[in-house]
Amino acid sequence: MKSDPGSQARSGTLYIVATPIGNLEDLSPRASSTLASVAVIAAEDTRHSGRLLQHLGISKPMLALHDHNERDRASRLLDRLESGEDVALVSDAGTPLISDPGYVLVRQARERGIRVSPVPGPCALVTALSAAGLPTDRFLFAGFLPSKRGARRSELEALAAETATLVFYESPHRILETVAEIRDVMGGEREIVLGRELTKTFETFYAGPAGEVCQVIEADPNGARGEFVVMIHGVRRESDMDDTGAVDTDKLLQLLAAELPVKKVAKIAAELTGRSKNELYQRVLALKPE
């Protein structure tokens, strides 16, 4: 454990400050007073964050800290923190480090015994999940999917049997392709929710089976505009499924899977139980021994 109260007392504090993901009113009063109180603000893009500071009437020295210069900038910021200055880290939008720079800085600050304090606020993934109507007791946030088609498909295949709700970030120019791929890999009946332009004027949720959502966004002229969070219902566990009382579905799937290919198992089990073929297909995969 690395905790050195002596050095923490001498060092400044590194504040990790969340900023709005669209609506400026979402900036907390504590975020604002923290930004106004520190000696320097490290920002992913100083011009972008400069506009937010201008809106808040705050004038502060800023330092750019992005993926390409984080190691070098981190050591300069750590020196300033060790000399007793307070530093705030912000990203372009939302919570720093969540698919944004800052990991190296926070890691090294902790290693040096510098106090790191979060100033929580907006985060697109939590914002989206909170209103999607998908299970939130367990979720897996997987950041951005790979941009190359083959790698993206492999990742979706690797996650297809996951029972937790899946959450991704996606850029507008890949959203149609990604939703089509989710439909192809996880089945057109898999329930998905897209949160678009959250907290902004054109905030929209698209929810339903992947096949339908795909058609809706393809037909919507704004369907591929703006920022997106993609959420996918996990594969239903036996305990989550409605109990028909008649058949132990897992047992049925296991017995059939010992004799038949997965596709046939799903087809027969769907007829017997009235449940979705795709859901059962994923369940057979999840039940299969490695």
Contacting positions for ligand SAM (CB under 6 A): 21-22, 91, 93-95, 98-100, 123-125, 169-171, 195-200, 227-229
Burial of 287 (0-12, 13-18, 19+ CB in 10 A): middle
Least separation in angstroms between CB 169 and ligand SAM: 3
Q: Which is nearer to ligand SAM, 231 or 284 (CB)?
A: 231
Residue nearest ligand SAM (C-beta atom): 94
Residues in contact with 115: Cβ distance below 8 Å, sequence separation at least 6, in sequence order? 8, 11, 12, 13, 14
Least separation in angstroms between CB 6 and ligand SAM: 33
Q: Which is nearer to ligand SAM, 97 or 285 (CB)?
A: 97
CB 191 within 8 A of CB 179: no
E strand residue ranges, 65-132: 87-90, 115-119
Q: Which is nearer to ligand SAM, 174 or 267 (CB)?
A: 174
Q: How far apart are CA 273 and CA 271, in angstroms?
A: 6
Sign of CA dihedral 237, 243, 248, 252: negative
Least separation in angstroms between CB 196 and ligand SAM: 6
Least separation in angstroms between CB 68 and ligand SAM: 14
Q: Which is nearer to ligand SAM, 145 or 235 (CB)?
A: 145
Least separation in angstroms between CB 269 and ligand SAM: 36
Least separation in angstroms between CB 31 and ligand SAM: 13
E strand residue ranges, 78-236: 87-90, 115-119, 139-144, 165-170, 191-196, 204-209, 228-232
Least separation in angstroms between CB 54 and ligand SAM: 21
Picking from 12, 199, 214, 223, the residue whose alpha carbon sits closest to that of residue 124 is 199
Least separation in angstroms between CB 77 and ligand SAM: 19
Q: Which is nearer to ligand SAM, 84 or 133 (CB)?
A: 133
- Alpha-carbon distance values, 274 to 55, 236, 245, 269 (Å): 57, 15, 13, 8
Picking from 178, 186, 162, the residue whose alpha carbon sits closest to that of residue 214 is 178
Q: Which is nearer to ligand SAM, 28 or 199 (CB)?
A: 199
* HSE value, Cβ hemisphere, 13 Å, CA-based, for 202: 11
Q: How far apart are CA 252 and CA 275, in angstroms?
A: 13
Q: Which is nearer to ligand SAM, 228 or 281 (CB)?
A: 228
E strand residue ranges, the chain: 13-17, 40-43, 62-64, 87-90, 115-119, 139-144, 165-170, 191-196, 204-209, 228-232
Q: Which is nearer to ligand SAM, 8 or 99 (CB)?
A: 99
